[in-house]
Amino acid sequence: MEIVILDLEWNAAFYKDEMRFLNEIIEFGAVKLDENLNCIGSFSALLKPKISRRMNRRTAELTGIAFNDLKQSDITFCEALKNFTEFLGDAVLLTWGTTDITTLIDNYFMYYAERTLPFMTQYCNVQEFAMKQLNLNDPAKQLGVKACVDILEIVPDENLHRADSDAYVEALIFKTLYNKEVFEGFIQNAADPEFYRKLFYKPVFINSLDNPLIKRSAMRFYCPHCASRLRMLTHWQYKNRGFVAHLQCKKCVKFFAGKYTFKKMYDYLNIQTRLSELLPEQPHEENVVIDIESDIDTVSV
Ligand SMILES: [Zn+2]
């Protein structure tokens, strides 16, 4: 099984046909690994833009690509994609997060009026894989490539933010964290329509306790000092994407604020809890003495 790590650079441009902005892909960069994780090839292409009329300042700063470089390129998106398809072969396609894939789909749609990528059969979000391997369980805190490089103390010998060097760094991260069994669990069948439903799914915060996914009886907190169950002083109130209540330990005569946040992901529920001890004389959420515990749990739905 071969692996291709793809990284794209894009430029925000106005797409007149659809009267909206579109992130036009300006560079492909990819690295290919064999099943022993040896680097067996690389791919890069700077594309001639179709709708970009100038370079977005942020993109220019980030990538160092000048609009003139693009204009001088004679590779169109379609040609680059054809070459990339050959390079990919039947390898598993990896990207850091799903934005590269959704951007690729958006660009593909502009040329082919299709929202599925026929050349991609197996896909893995290498960011998700890395977060799993590093035990980072909060899907709300997306791990960036730079942050991951810092955690792993990898020293890449190329500058970040050009597509091919990004792909190279992502390959280094992948190799450092590689575990065959875990990786195989992250490979998705991209030929299945379900793949696209999941890809475009937007997580939602549940804002009603009547939602059948919520087990209200399980919403409880225990005193961090004596382990007694805390008594509720208020009802659950929806605030900042979660449910907050004031609680008390009768035994210790201490006050707390407890918070439950329920985030409905595509196929699981993310439950986050947080307990803070409050000042005894003014038990309001603003008067936190100390954040005692926070916990994240996931439940399949
Ligand atoms: Zn207590």
Distance from Cα 288 to the centre of ligand 1, integer Å: 17
Q: What is residue 156's predicted lDDT score, i.e. its pLDDT?
A: 67
Q: What is residue 161's predicted lDDT score, i.e. its pLDDT?
A: 60
Mean of pLDDT values over 196-212: 94
Token pair belonging to 72: 């001088």
Could you tell me the pLDDT band of residue 160, with boundaries at 50, 70 and 90? low
Q: What is residue 163's predicted lDDT score, i.e. its pLDDT?
A: 64
Nearest Cα to 109, choosing from 151, 50, 192, 27?
Answer: 50
Distance from Cα 222 to the centre of ligand 1, integer Å: 8
Distance from Cα 278 to the centre of ligand 1, integer Å: 13
Cα→Cα distances 37→2, 40, 46, 108, 183, Å: 8, 9, 26, 29, 12
Which three-class secondary structure state does DSSP give residue 61? helix
Q: What is residue 14's predicted lDDT score, i.e. its pLDDT?
A: 92
Q: How far apart are CA 134 and CA 143, in angstroms?
A: 10
Distance from Cα 234 to the centre of ligand 1, integer Å: 18
Could you tell me the pLDDT band of residue 129, with boundaries at 50, 70 and 90? very high
Q: What is residue 157's predicted lDDT score, i.e. its pLDDT?
A: 64
Instruction: Please provide the average confidence, as pLDDT, over all residues in the chain.
Output: 91
- The string over 181-192, giving b where at least 16 C-beta atoms fall within 10 Å of a residue's C-beta and e elsewhere, is eebeebbbebee
Q: How far apart are CA 233 and CA 290, in angstroms?
A: 19
Task: Quick: pLDDT tens for 58-112.
Answer: 888 888 888 888 888 999 999 999 999 999 999 999 999 999 999 999 999 999 9
Q: What is residue 301's predicted lDDT score, i.e. its pLDDT?
A: 72
Distance from Cα 149 to the centre of ligand 1, integer Å: 42
Distance from Cα 248 to the centre of ligand 1, integer Å: 8
Distance from Cα 229 to the centre of ligand 1, integer Å: 8
Token pair belonging to 104: 């690729």
Whether 152 has a pLDDT exceeding 80, the answer reads yes
**DSSP label at residue 227:** -
Q: Considering the entire predicted model, what is its pTM? A: 0.80
Q: How far apart are CA 19 and CA 51, in angstroms?
A: 12
- What is the CA angle 238-272-136, rounded to 5? 145
Its sign, for the CA torsion 141, 145, 146, 150, is: positive
Q: What CATH architecture does domain 3-201 belong to? A: 2-Layer Sandwich (3.30)
Of all residues in the chain, what percent carry a pLDDT higher than 90?
A: 75
Distance from Cα 232 to the centre of ligand 1, integer Å: 13
Query: Are 294 and 274 spatial neighbours (Cβ–Cβ below 8 Å)?
Result: yes
Distance from Cα 280 to the centre of ligand 1, integer Å: 13
Q: How far apart are CA 111 and CA 106, in angstroms?
A: 9
What residue ranges of the chain are covered by domains with CATH 3.30.420.10? 3-201
Distance from Cα 273 to the centre of ligand 1, integer Å: 18
Which three-class secondary structure state does DSSP give residue 18? helix
Distance from Cα 228 to the centre of ligand 1, integer Å: 6
Distance from Cα 249 to the centre of ligand 1, integer Å: 5
Q: Which of 4-13, 88-97, 130-139, 161-170 has the lowest mean pLDDT?
A: 161-170
Distance from Cα 282 to the centre of ligand 1, integer Å: 18
Q: Which of 32-41, 131-140, 176-185, 279-288 has the lowest mean pLDDT?
A: 279-288
Could you tell me the pLDDT band of residue 141, with boundaries at 50, 70 and 90? confident
Distance from Cα 281 to the centre of ligand 1, integer Å: 17
Q: Is 96 left (phi over 0), alpha (psi -120 to 50) or beta?
A: beta
Q: How far apart are CA 190 and CA 185, in angstroms?
A: 14
Can you list the positions of beta strands (E) in the chain? 3-15, 20-33, 39-46, 92-95, 122-125, 188-189, 204-205, 231-232, 237-239, 242-249, 254-264, 268-278, 288-300
Q: How far apart are CA 154 and CA 146, in angstroms?
A: 10
